[in-house]
Structure 1
Amino acid sequence: MKKLLLLLITTFTLSCCNNDDDKPIAEIDKLPPATQTGANTAGCLVNGVAFLPKGYFTTGNLICYYIDGKDFTLGIRESIIQGGNENIRTILISSFNQNLHDNVGIIFPLKDYGANSKSGEYVINAVASPDPGYYSSNSIVTGEFKITYHNYNSAILSGTFWFDAINSNGEIVKVREGRFDMHY
């Protein structure tokens, strides 16, 4: 009888335990927090799935350039092995010929790639247009980019972005909840 009572108590105790490890993590909760400290973090959701820097690249899986106070590029790369093949996906945010340090808090539209423009791109396996693995914003399929913090003396840029991008087959990728906090 004592063994049966002990078994019942043990079963009851174990069934009452809160096992947080079994709860799935929401995709947005996988993204880094939106900080402004130069944490060298970035991420976004691509079609609702967390997209974070992952894998080894000689140039890095997270890059940020701000050249001559006018040309800005943020690149987030993710390498995933699927079926023995490596798939490299890249998010690129570009802003050309714009003094971002004078425009903290201003929302810029992401449209076509080119001189004096701001654009968003999603690229699979480093291809270019018209390959169907190349998606980009344009004058119709757009997005937004915003610098939320800039410390020129410490070379820190933080911001947010979202965009839709279209490929040559007319397929659209939705990039949402983008954030970055980078040294350049």
Structure 2
Amino acid sequence: MKRLLLLFFLIICLNSCDKDDVQKTPIERLPPLTSLGANTAGCLVNGEAFLPKGNLPATLFCQYIDQKHFSIAINEKINNKIRTVNVASLNETLELNKIYQLKEYGENSKFAEFVIFNENFDDIQYQTNSVIKGELKITNHNYAKAIISGTFWFDAVNDKGEKVEIREGRFDMEY
């Protein structure tokens, strides 16, 4: 009887697994490209799906202050490690379907970064710069409903010259 119950329990557990998610490619795990204010975002980090995850105050954050200062942050916390993808545009009103170059951080710049925060405060920061770049494109902006959607990609380097590749970035956010 114990074996029968164990077999029954295993069958239920296996059937409750999301088989579709296991079979999905990394890009298929990303949220769809939408423009509804779905409050979704994701990208590929070195070919692996990167999505908001974990016990954090904000796993996903978007702001567009005074229609001039835009930023989107996707945060993932696994165990005691937090990884963050951040894309920002400072001091410029973003236009629809215009491609903006992500370069170095500055007062009137567009830039991106990937940061790994470790529990021992040995953080690793990868940033775009004048040579290692990326792109940001706003595909939808509904001012009345405060919804902004778009795509991004970038390469970034740390102070040791190691590079990280962020691809297929997408967001559909209320701000």
Query: What is the TM-score when the length of structure 2 is the normalising length?
Result: 0.85
Q: Which runs of 5+ in 2 are unaligned?
A: 1-17
Match of 1:88 among 82, 86, 89: 82
Q: Which residue of 2 aligns with 1:16?
A: none
Aligned mates of 2:19, 2:34 — CA distance in 1: 26
Q: Indicate how the Cα distance of structure 1 residues 126 and 140 shifts in structure 2: closer, same or farther if over 3 A, else same.
A: farther
Deviant stretches of 4+, over 2 Å: 20-24
Aligned mates of 1:165, 1:93 — CA distance in 2: 11
Matched pairs, number: 155
Q: Is the 8 A contact 1:132 1:167 kept in 2?
A: no
Q: Write the deviation string for residues 52-110 of structure 1: whole angstroms up to 9, x where unpaired.
A: 0001212x1100010011000100000012xxxx110000001001111xx10000000
The Cα of 1:162 is off from its aligned counterpart by 0.1
Match of 2:101 among 92, 109, 113: 109
Q: Is the 8 A contact 1:132 1:169 kept in 2?
A: no
Q: Is the 8 A contact 2:27 2:44 kept in 1?
A: yes
Percent identity over paired residues: 55
Q: Write the deviation string for residues 112-147 of structure 1: whole angstroms up to 9, x where unpaired.
A: 0111100010000079xxx77100000000000000
Q: Is the 8 A contact 1:97 1:116 kept in 2?
A: yes
Q: Is the 8 A contact 1:141 1:166 kept in 2?
A: yes
Query: What is the TM-score when the length of structure 1 is the normalising length?
Result: 0.81
Q: Which residue of 2 aligns with 1:54?
A: 53
Aligned mates of 1:104, 1:126 — CA distance in 2: 37
Q: Which residue of 1 aligns with 2:72?
A: 74
Where 1:29 maps in the other structure, the secondary structure is: helix
Aligned mates of 1:143, 1:55 — CA distance in 2: 27
Aligned mates of 1:165, 1:126 — CA distance in 2: 19
Match runs of 1:115-154 below 5 Å: 115-125=107-117, 133-154=124-145
Structural RMSD (CA): 1.7
